[in-house]
Amino acid sequence: MSRRTHRSARTGPVEAVVARLGAGGDGIAALPDGRPAYIPDALPGERVRILPGARRGEGVAASLLARLSDSSDRVAPPCPHFGPCGGCAVQHLGEEAYRRWKTGLLADALRRAGFSDTPIDSLVPASSATRRRADLALRNGAVGFHERASRRVIDAPECRVLDPAILTLAQHLRDLARQLACLRPEAEAQVNLLDSGADLVLRGAREPDLAGRERLAAFAEAADLARLCWATGAAPPLPVAIRRVPAIAFAGVAVEPPPGAFLQATLDGEAAIGAAVLTALADLPEDALVADLFAGIGTLTFRLARRFRLRAAEGEAEAAAALRRAAQGSGLAARIAVGTRDLAARPLLPAELRGVDAVVLDPPRDGARAQCEALAQAPVRRIVYVSCNPAALARDARLLAVGGWRPMRATPIDQFLWSGHLECVVPFSR
């Protein structure tokens, strides 16, 4: 196709029928020239009038001008901010269709990896108003999430996903953002709801002055925060006010996390992940040796340590130190050996896994390419992969397949309601 033809295909509105729902929640339809168009707020089977726009992968992003027909799966979105807000993608999709779509994300990932017959459990659903962590954007007094594909911030005093305690804190932040110059024109707020209260990290472009720090400390008191930290630019966060020891418990073990530590998005999701991992290891003898990779602050570690001996590895030094302190303080240090190691740059090699019975890995969103390349030849009985990104899971599963590993089954767990994100637990055996 010539460049002129390519341009003309996107200059005017076209009509199309949506064929399927993409991994991000956009409807996908074919343009007259065969390229896929990605259409927000469009569902399979709907006839739509769209305006093709900028290139997106092999296709184009398109604006929805009109729906000429409605899918039977379409429902009224429960949130008034749905559409412009980039936090949710499919609030307009009915519950049964939503479950099929989410489960299909996992099935498609395994199919792309070459495993089309893996048994898949029923989706573990997410409940509304239960998300306990959030990255909020602040801009000129607005507090919320970015608009889709934009830096513009949608002020979102209502949200059907977040725990109400985060919404209350966000309202306090609106008042604070109007008062503090260091939060203007824009800043970020990272909130974790811990057992001891809210743990807040504010990140702005410049340091607060003395009066600003005093105002932040007063804010921590008024908002009843456990801890408030400030970070300038890309610098690590430093405490401004610690009113209570920040603490969260995993399997009854209290951990004092570093500022901004990773938590599973919901408490129910965390419990479902832990249960699926333990089920996948149920045939191992007690006191088997398990490697817990990308261990974080111990989300899975302490559940596993009740039955197995653990070798935990975590790349972030502060998270590993928090995990180590918690193991020592709980009397589990003899069962949990904690190492600080960047598994992306220096994965555990097969020779280092001699004597290990099973490996559990819970990598970040971009997956564990280097570690899975090494695990393909690992002399272990079981690998349990906990994934938050079906695309990364598909790639890493292909790497494991080179060593003869096959998925035994897969459990989809929804922690990110109405979005394209999906947690899943997949045990592999040879």
Please give the positions annotated as active site.
388
Ramachandran sector of residue 251 (left: φ over 0; alpha: ψ -120 to 50; beta: rest): left
SS3 readout for the chain: CCHHHHHHCCCCCEEEEEEEECCCCCEEEECCCCCEEEECCCCCCCEEEEEEEEEECCEEEEEEEEECCCCCCECCCCCCCECCECCCCCCCECHHHHHHHHHHHHHHHHHHCCCCCCCECCCECCCCCCECEEEEEEECCEEEEEECCCCCEEECCCCCCECHHHHHHHHHHHHHHHHCHHHCCEEEEEEEEECCEEEEEEEECCCCCHHHHHHHHHHHHHCCCCEEEEEECCCCCEEEEECCCCCEEECCEEECCCCCCCCCCCHHHHHHHHHHHHHHCCCCCCCCEEEEECCCCCCCHHHHHCCCEEEEEECCHHHHHHHHHHHHHCCCCCCEEEEECCCCCCCCCHHHHCCCCEEEECCCCCCCHHHHHHHCCCCCCEEEEEECCHHHHHHHHHHHHHCCCEECCEEEECCCCCCCCCEEEEEEEC
φ and ψ of 358, to 5 deg: -150, 155
Amino acid letter at 101?
A: W
Amino acid letter at 239?
A: P
In this structure, how many other beta carbons lie within 10 angstroms of the beta carbon of residue 239? 13
Q: How far apart are CA 397 and CA 389, in angstroms?
A: 12
The size of the chain, in residues, is 430
Q: How far apart are CA 240 and CA 220, in angstroms?
A: 9
Residues 6+ apart with CB under 8 A from 283: none
